[in-house]
Structure formats: structure tokens, C-alpha cells
A and B are shown apart, each in its own frame.
Chain A
Amino acid sequence: MNEEKQEYTITVYTENQVGLLNRIAIIFSRRKINVESLNTSPSEVAGIHRFTIVVVENRDVVNKVVRQIEKQVEVLKAYYNTNDEIVWQELALYKVLSEEITEKVKVERLLREYGARAVAIRKDFIVFETTGHREETNRLMEALAPFGLVEFVRSARVAIIKESAGFHEKLKDFEKREPGEELIENEYLGKREAVFTM
């Protein structure tokens, strides 16, 4: 159970309410878990917010944290996934001096190689953007460093769960005035034969 620490992406569907960010944040800070990345945005359902939180922890800890998050009154549902269960992207912006690019052919080649797109072109500097996984955006940052990278910033991760059917159906379920049918994961229940022999 206590496997190695790895990146987990936690997806939380919530009501849009003041203070909820703090309620979720203290669940991590109370356990001294560092949040690697945090994004809040609208979700596929109008009026429902979606948090995407990345932490490096083992499954047991993440599982407990996610249950604590789900326990918050304004949280509808929380999921956690390993990297192979999601599709994710981060966006990075790079500010480079214009003269470096115009003078050095290598820089231009580099930007093309990484699929960078110019989003602002000025006489003195140019801002490029790339999207990708952290390693990809990092690599371009490192490659640009010798050529006077003036500023660099990367967004939080946004992620889509491969197996998810979206939240529309789930929400209908939540709006029913009766207890829900979902079950807590119970590893034992899948292999009851093994347990009943005493």
C-alpha cells in the first residue's frame, strides 16, 4: 500500500464559493504536504468549479487527503489520478530580447524545434509560449538560458481524466434529494473469497 511517492493529480468539483480555496488549502498545509501546482477554473458544468491540484505523495496519503477534501460541504466530488491516467498540459511563457533572436540563427531554430509560438513581438523583446509537460517546457527554458532569457513563467497543470465521463450525470445524481449510491473504495470487497477463509 505504501508505494513510492509520485505525482498525483487531484481533480475537485466544487460550488463556486468564497473561501473554499482556503478550506481546501488547509487540508494540505495541516499535513505538511506541499502543493506542486494548483489551478482553479470553470468546469464542463455551468456554475461548478474545477480545481486541479498536483502533489507528490504516496497513494495512501493522497487517498486520505481526497476523502478529507470530499468531506467539505461545498465539494461535490474529488478524484485522484496518476500521470498515466490523465492527459495534461502546462503553458509556459518566455521573454527573450529581440536582438538575440535576430542575431543568432540558433535561437530561431531552437524555438521552431520546440514548437514555440510568438505571442507578442516588440522592438526590444519577444514573448514566446509553449505548452506541454513540465520536462518539455523546462528543456526550452534551459536551452534559452544562454541566450538571455529575461523572464520565464509557467502555469499550473490542467488535466483531463481519460476515463471520466464528465460531471453532468454526476451532478444530476447530487441534485436528487436522497442519499447517494457511490461506494467507498474497498480493496477487500473485490476479493471476498480470500478473506472469508479464516
Chain B
Amino acid sequence: MEAKQLTGSQAVLEAFIAEGVDTIFGYPGGAIMPIYDALYDYNDKLKHILVRHEQGGIHAGQGYARTSGKVGVVFATSGPGATNLVTGLADAMIDSTPLVCITGQVFAHLLGTDAFQETDIINITMPVTKWNYQITDATEIPHIIAKAFYLAKSGRPGPVLIDISKNAQLQKFDYEGYTPCNHVRSYRPKPIIRKEYIDAAVALINGAKKPMIAFGQGVILGKAEKEFKKFVEKSGIPAAWTILGLSALPTDHPLNVGMLGMHGNYGPNVLTNECDVLIAIGMRFDDRVTGRLDKYAKQAKIIHLDIDPSEIDKNVKADVGVWGDCKETLPLLTLGIEQKERTEWVNLFKDYAQKEYDQCIKDEIYPKTEEMTMGEVIRIVNEVSKGEAIMVTDVGQHQMVTCRYAQFNQSRSNVTSGGLGTMGFGLPAAIGAKFGALDRTVVAVIGDGGFQMTLQELGTIMQTGVDVKILILNNQFLGMVRQWQQLFHDKRYSFVDIQSPDYIMLAKSYGIDGAKVEHRDQLAAAVKTMLESKGSYLLEVMVGKENNVFPMVPQGCSVSEIRLK
């Protein structure tokens, strides 16, 4: 049989279909035009979302990947199109989000000549991609794209960038079909689980009097939520989360004791320094979680489960490093451990939670002040959504408040920029999140600062008709920086006073309904209107200008020095 002749561009799209891609976020341009030309004929099989900026495209790809559990796919052209992806790549790299980004490149014979819209995107993106590769010959396309998808989603996931020169996109070649990749000899996505790790970890857990779990996104990325829940329930160990681990265990689960780190809950932070065994699962001891390292859980034996061996011992020395996929390691641990109830120890967390509620949370979610608070807005969202909504956040005070107070019944419901802290992430990520979970409600909670960084994506919402509820918590400040300036820089408010346009009018000009709430008596009804509206909606809530997020572990302090006020 004679092989079919395809262009490189067609081969890219055939590969996508074979990989089960349904949605592409992208922006056309000169060097990627052949691919877009081919896309014209694939319109019935591949949905392309035209974004307003490549950064919006890649954040949407991230949002899509985070809610769907699939690989996010992004197109951009060469030069500025490609460099606009860099922030999203860095974000996806540090938050382990599987992406395949295709960038156009100038003709191969022009490489290195400073051609129009030429940039060395391979070298630029090397530190922020799990893998990248430049294709200058179309015959490489099928197996390189296969490798790209395999690398993006296997092991510890991450972003992959494939740069394809224009001649390779145009080149016709004998297409012999698509074979998915499942092995690269120089790459070990995960190891065989070694019994000695498991035995050692089981022995530590069974001997522990006051054990505690710290879980991260590894549980979600490993699709191991069920295995994790079984482990938690059999062991009876209180479990606290990082913000990327949030929603892996329902927030109302009796053993879910809350958030770790700088703005986390009182109990888990204080008791990190009192537990005797700390079981870290798919988390990487980020400095925002650990606070001062030399005073972090020094009394505890550390068990660290991770699929990435370079994370074990990186920040916190593990007594037992359990290298492996937590979908495989957790059931082995569950099998070995004794069923226990640790009432006294769990009650200690409850005591701390009560203290935190009395001194801190109550005034945040049921404020007595005239000014509205971010916490009460999130509480009302919870009351209406019943914990079923996907919450996408930007970066700053509203992000911490949302992570602290939002309720989640199911996994893959919290989408936020954790490691990189990318302001401007929220709106485009929410668009992608919705495309990744079309049957769910998506609420984008965004501050007045971050919203103004990527508000051009309102155009994407307008054009695609995607249903995203936008909740702007406007404190008329770059709130988190202002909070630090207040606490640590003698209230010298240096360039944090930020003005906003009329967001409602702005939304209207994009055909999006909206409302602004300045008084508490309208709040509950307005939130309800937003969540029940057909299609997108923008709700702006004016909250207290100088409210702070507490509790807080000041920088340079130990987690047990957390301040409630």
C-alpha cells in the first residue's frame, strides 16, 4: 500500500486527533500560518479557541489541563508569539501542568539570520520546559509530537514546547500513521516501588503517636484521590493541604484539617512543629509552606512520597523517601498500616481551629464592620454553589482568602497559580478551566490588580460565548503588597494604590452582563444572580480597602510563630 502524502501541518493535526485533543488555544501569525491553513479543514474535529494574547492562550491551556486532567494544547507563532508564552511555561513548569505548545518558526534556511519574527525560543524556554525540540524536517513530526505528549503527561507532568520551522509545516512527506509514544530510553517517568521504602514508612506510621499528613497536587496529578482518602481514613491521620493539593480531599472531610503555610490555618501550622511523624505526599516543601526551614518540623520523622526523586531531600531531609507514583505507593501503605482512631490528636486540631475561628475567621466571614470582606463573599459563594463550583483564582489576597474559605466536594476544582504566583493568570485560566469541564460552574475570583493584567481575554469570552462567572474583589489596592508594606515597611504605600476602570461598563462593551455591589445588603442576591445567570457574568464587589489576610507566618519566621492578628 502506498503511504499517504501529508504536509507537516496536517501531520501535526492528525497527531492531535490521535492523542484525543479536542480543544486548542492559540493565536495565528506568519510562521504558523501553514498549520492554521490546515486547521481550516479540521474545524469539525478540533475546536480552536482564538485568544487575545498568547499569554492568555497558555494560561487557558493550563486551566483546561488542570480541570480536565488532559494535556493542554497551545499554538503560537514565532518571535513575539513564542516569547509571550514564557510566563505560562514557567507557571506550568513550577506547577507541573501538562502542556504541549506548538510554536511556528522561520524557514530553516533563515535560522540564525535574525529573520523577521525569528527568536531562539528553544534556548529561551529551556529552563521553563520539561522538554523542548525544534523540528526542521516534516518526517520528524509524528514521532516528536508523540514524544511530546508522552513526556508532558507522564511521570511528573510539565510543559513541552515544539518549535516547527515553516518549511517543515509546508513539506509533504509519506505519512505512515501515528504511533503513540510509551517509552523513551533516557527517561524514567516512575520507578518500580521498592518494598524497603514501604516497610520503613509503614513502621514509622504505625509507631507514631501524633502523625500528620501534608498533601499536595501530586495526589491530583496521580489521579490518586480515592487511594489517598482510603489511606487517610484507615490511618486516622489529620491531613493538611498545600494550595495546589486543595480539593483532592473534600474540604468538609473530618480529617481535612486545612491549609498549610504562610496564610494557612492555625492548627496545621503550629502542629507541624509538634507532630512526631510528618507524611508529605506529592508536595515539595515550598518556602511558602515551610516558613523558616531550620525551624520546620525538626522534631518529626519525615516520610516523603514523591514521583520526582529530585524533590526528595531537596528542601527537607526525608527520613524515609518513598519514590514512586502515589497511585501505587498509597495503597501499599494503606495495606500495611494499622487502622487507628486518633481522637485526642485530631481534637487538638479542632481546638486550634476553634481558636482560629473565634479570633480570626468569624470576623472575616461574618464581619461586624460596615465594609465588606473577601471572606464573606467567598462564604456566600459557598452557600449558593454548595461546594460544587470550580474556583479559579488569580494571585494575591483574594487568592489566599479563596483557598482558605472555598468549599470543595470534588477534586480538580481549585485552579490557581501556586509556585510562580502569576498575576493575570485568573481570567484566561478560568476560560480554559470551563472548556476542560463544560458541565461545571466556573467562578474566577480575581483582584482589581490581576484582572487589569489580562482583561483583554474578555474578548475571548465574548467571541466563544464561554460561560465564566467573574468575581472581582476590588479593594482599590494591590492588596497583598500593601499588606506587607503596612506590616513590614512602616505603611509606606509605595505604588500600590491602583485605579480601576468601570468594570461593568467594560464588561457590557464585551456583551457580558454585570453588577457592582457596594453595600452588604445587596451582596447575597448579587452572588446568587451571578451564579444563576445564563452565560458569563461579571460581579464586582467593593471590599475593605485595608483589610489584611490573617493568619500569617511572617517571612523568616517558623510556621509555629503564625500570627492570628
How many whole Å from B325's CB to the nearest CB in chain A?
9
The residue that A184 contacts in the complex, of B127, B132, B203, B321, with Cβ under 8 A, is B321
How many whole Å from B120's CB to the nearest CB in chain A?
10
Give how many A-B residue pairs fall within 8 Å (CB-CB): 92
Q: Report yes or no: A73 in contact with B320, Cβ–Cβ below 8 A.
A: no
Q: Report yes or no: A188 in contact with B192, Cβ–Cβ below 8 A.
A: no
Q: Report yes or no: B186 in contact with A182, Cβ–Cβ below 8 A.
A: no
Q: Place the interface of chain B in its size category.
A: 35 or more
Query: Which among A146-154, A158-166, A171-179 touches the partner chain?
Result: A171-179
Q: Report yes or no: A67 in contact with B122, Cβ–Cβ below 8 A.
A: no
Q: Report yes or no: A73 in contact with B151, Cβ–Cβ below 8 A.
A: yes
Per-residue 0/1 for B144-161: is the Cβ within 8 Å of any A Cβ (1 yes, 0 no)?
A: 000000010000000000
Least CB separation from A175: chain B residue: B185
Specify which chain A residues have a CB less than 8 angstroms from the CB of B189 in the assembled complex.
179
How many whole Å from B297's CB to the nearest CB in chain A?
15
The residue that A30 contacts in the complex, of B127, B183, B209, B314, with Cβ under 8 A, is B127
Query: Which among B305-313, B485-493, B554-562 touches the partner chain?
Result: B305-313
- Measured in the bound complex, the distance between the Cα atoms of B474 and A32 in whole Å is 41
Query: Which among A15-23, A50-58, A91-99, A129-137 touches the partner chain?
Result: A15-23
B310-345 interface with A by 8 A CB criterion: 310, 312-314, 317-321, 323
B110-149 interface with A by 8 A CB criterion: 122-123, 126-127, 130-132
Q: Report yes or no: A75 in contact with B186, Cβ–Cβ below 8 A.
A: yes
Q: Report yes or no: A68 in contact with B310, Cβ–Cβ below 8 A.
A: yes
- Measured in the bound complex, the distance between the Cα atoms of B313 and A69 in whole Å is 15
Known: A73-B184, A179-B190, A180-B192. A186 touches B127 (CB 8 A): no
A24-51 interface with B by 8 A CB criterion: 26, 30
> Is A76 an interface residue, CB under 8 A from the partner?
yes
> Is B496 an interface residue, CB under 8 A from the partner?
no
Q: Report yes or no: B185 in contact with A22, Cβ–Cβ below 8 A.
A: no
Specify which chain B residues have a CB less than 8 angstroms from the CB of A139 in the assembled complex.
none
The residue that A64 contacts in the complex, of B123, B184, B196, B310, with Cβ under 8 A, is B310
Q: Report yes or no: A182 in contact with B126, Cβ–Cβ below 8 A.
A: no
B146-201 interface with A by 8 A CB criterion: 151, 182-192, 194, 196-197, 200
Per-residue 0/1 for A2-16: is the Cβ within 8 Å of any B Cβ (1 yes, 0 no)?
A: 000000000000110
Least CB separation from B206: chain A residue: A196
Least CB separation from A178: chain B residue: B192
Q: Report yes or no: B320 in contact with A186, Cβ–Cβ below 8 A.
A: yes
> Is B404 an interface residue, CB under 8 A from the partner?
no
Specify which chain B residues have a CB less than 8 angstroms from the CB of A189 in the assembled complex.
196-197, 200, 320
Q: Report yes or no: A192 in contact with B200, Cβ–Cβ below 8 A.
A: yes
Q: Report yes or no: A73 in contact with B321, Cβ–Cβ below 8 A.
A: no
B264-302 interface with A by 8 A CB criterion: 276, 301
The residue that A183 contacts in the complex, of B191, B310, B317, with Cβ under 8 A, is B191
> Is B360 an interface residue, CB under 8 A from the partner?
no
Known: A174-B185, A198-B208. A67 touches B192 (CB 8 A): no
Q: Report yes or no: A183 in contact with B323, Cβ–Cβ below 8 A.
A: yes
> Is B207 an interface residue, CB under 8 A from the partner?
yes
> Is A85 an interface residue, CB under 8 A from the partner?
no
Q: Report yes or no: B309 in contact with A184, Cβ–Cβ below 8 A.
A: yes
Specify which chain B residues have a CB less than 8 angstroms from the CB of A30 in the assembled complex.
127
How many whole Å from B336's CB to the nearest CB in chain A?
14
How many whole Å from B295's CB to the nearest CB in chain A?
17
Q: Report yes or no: B200 in contact with A181, Cβ–Cβ below 8 A.
A: no
Least CB separation from B199: chain A residue: A192
Known: A70-B309, A180-B188. 8 other contacts (CB 8 A): A70-B310, A73-B151, A174-B186, A179-B190, A186-B197, A189-B197, A196-B204, A198-B276
Q: Which 10 pairs between the two chains have the least Cβ-Cβ distance?
A: A67-B310, A184-B309, A73-B131, A177-B183, A76-B186, A174-B185, A179-B192, A188-B319, A73-B187, A71-B310
What would 22 A/B residue contacts be, using CB atoms closer than 8 Å?
A: A19-B132, A26-B126, A64-B310, A64-B314, A68-B310, A73-B131, A73-B151, A73-B186, A76-B186, A174-B185, A177-B182, A177-B183, A179-B191, A183-B196, A183-B323, A186-B320, A189-B197, A192-B200, A195-B200, A195-B204, A195-B301, A198-B207
